[in-house]
Amino acid sequence: MNRRVLLGAAVLLIATACGGGETPAPTSAPAPQPPADQPTEPPAQEGYQGGTVSDGGTISGTISHSGEVVGPIEVVVDKDNEVCGDTIETLQIVKNGAGGLQDAVVRITDITSGKPLTELGTEFILDQKDCIYAPSVLIVPVGSAMTVLNSDGILHNVHTTPFDNAPFNVAQPGTVPEITSDPFTLPELIPVVCDVHSWMNATVVAVDNPYAVLTGLDGSFTLTDVPAGTYTVEIWHAELGAQTMEVTVEAGGTATLNAEY
């Protein structure tokens, strides 16, 4: 009895010693599982070749959603109310009357040559306005950076958690209206969060070819100047996840791709 008591005292003395670096006695409790998502092998960089596409085809169609829409999810704002308001409604799934799903990403994942990457644009802007991100999904080609605006005039932090790209977490106080990220180097879906306002989140879709597009208000999309061939197309939505389809494009023709969640 006495021994155990004294041993306890010694263990606690170790545990209370300031300055950290203490080694706790190993316990036999089961270890929690690691995050299910494992780092992926970086894709072999064959390198996408951009150039002129003559007689390319088109892929177009509509992504729709037939399930029930939950929400909007209402967040009660408990900080920065002057700027953020008292509640923030986040619509996880936005669709029109016919079920057309907005803000789904449609992209070819296995194309090695085609139109230049610059077709996606040259400036990629993520704005922080009214304490939400606009847009909530941003397509950025590898090699390009993202410009982050702070239209709110209060502190946000721009915090990404990618697997393959270098992550970053930078403060953007209200006095700094614009910052630029490092260029993205590898294609992947990258979560963006603001820790100051825990409800804020967005996704950067880093792509290594220009055949990527967001669906519009009615769920429709068009990918143009696709060299003839058969491709894997991935459709991804922040709430509904990913699905892939095969599509064959003929020279000068239009392939229709409709998908439903």
Partner 1 sequence: MRLSGTLLGAGLILAAAAGLLAFRPSTDDPEAEIVAQDLELGRTVYAVRCEICHGVDGDGNGPAAASQDPRPRDFRRGWFKIRTTASGQLPTDADLARVITFGMPGTTMPAWENVLTEEEILSVAEHLKTFSRRFERESPEPIPIMAGPGSSPEAIARGAQLFVGEQAECIKCHGEMGRGDGPSASDLTDDFGQPIVPADLSMPWLFRGGPSADDIYLRIKTGLTGSPMPSYALVLGDEELWDVAYYVDSLAPDAPPKQEAFLLAAKVDGSLPISGDDAAWAAVPESFFPLGGQVMREVRNFTPAVKGVWVQALHNGSELALRLRWHDRFQDPNDSFDVEMPAVLAENDERPYFVFGDSRKAVNLWHWEAADVLLEEQNAHGVGTRATQSQQDLVGQVEFANGEYTLVVRRALNTGDEEDLVIPSGQFVPIAFAAVEGRSEETTDSGAIGSWQLLFLDEPTPALSYIWVPIAIALTAGLEWLVVRRVRRSTSA
Tell me whether residue 32 or residue 47 sits nearer to ligand HEC (CB atom): 32
Contact set for ligand HEC, span 88-117 (CB under 6 A):
none
- Which partner, partner 1, ligand HEC, none, binds residue 170 by CB below 5 to 8 Å per kind? partner 1
Which position has the token pair 């910052």?
179
Rounded Cα–Cα distance for residues 41 and 20 (Å): 36
Q: Find the shortest distance in angstroms from Cβ 147 to partner 1.
A: 12
Dist. CA 118–CA 209, nearest whole Å: 9
Closest contact distance (angstroms) between CB of 121 and partner 1 is 23
How many Å apart are CA 261 and CA 255, to the nearest integer? 20
d(CA 63, CA 102): 8
Cα–Cα dist 163/41, whole Å: 9
Q: Tell me how far apart the 2 most distant CA atoms of the chain are, in Å.
A: 89
What contacts 24+ positions apart, CB below 8 Å, involve 167-174? 169/195, 172/128, 172/148, 174/150
- As a whole number of angstroms, the distance between CA 29 and CA 51 comes to 58
Tell me which residue has tokens 């021994």. Answer: 3
Contact positions vs partner 1 (CB under 8 A): 1-13, 15-35, 38-39, 41-42, 78-80, 153-155, 157-161, 163-164, 166-176, 179, 182, 195-198
73 contact choice in partner 1, ligand HEC, none (CB below 5 to 8 Å, kind-dependent): none
Nearest approach, Cβ of 171 to ligand HEC (angstroms)? 6
Site for ligand HEC in 117-146 (CB under 6 A): none
Nearest to 215 by CA among 123, 127, 160, 139: 139
CB of 79 to ligand HEC, least distance (A): 11
* 33 vs 122, beta carbon nearer partner 1: 33
Q: Does 196 bind ligand HEC (CB under 6 A)?
A: yes
- In the block, residue with structure tokens 């090695």: 112
Report if residue 23 touches ligand HEC, rule: CB under 6 A: yes
Least distance (Å) between residue 165 CB and partner 1: 8
Q: Is 157 in the site for ligand HEC (CB under 6 A)?
A: yes
Residue listed under structure tokens 């970053």:
168
Is 195 near ligand HEC (CB under 6 A)? yes
Residue 188 CB, nearest approach to partner 1 (Å): 13
Residues near ligand HEC, by CB under 6 A:
23, 157, 171, 195-196
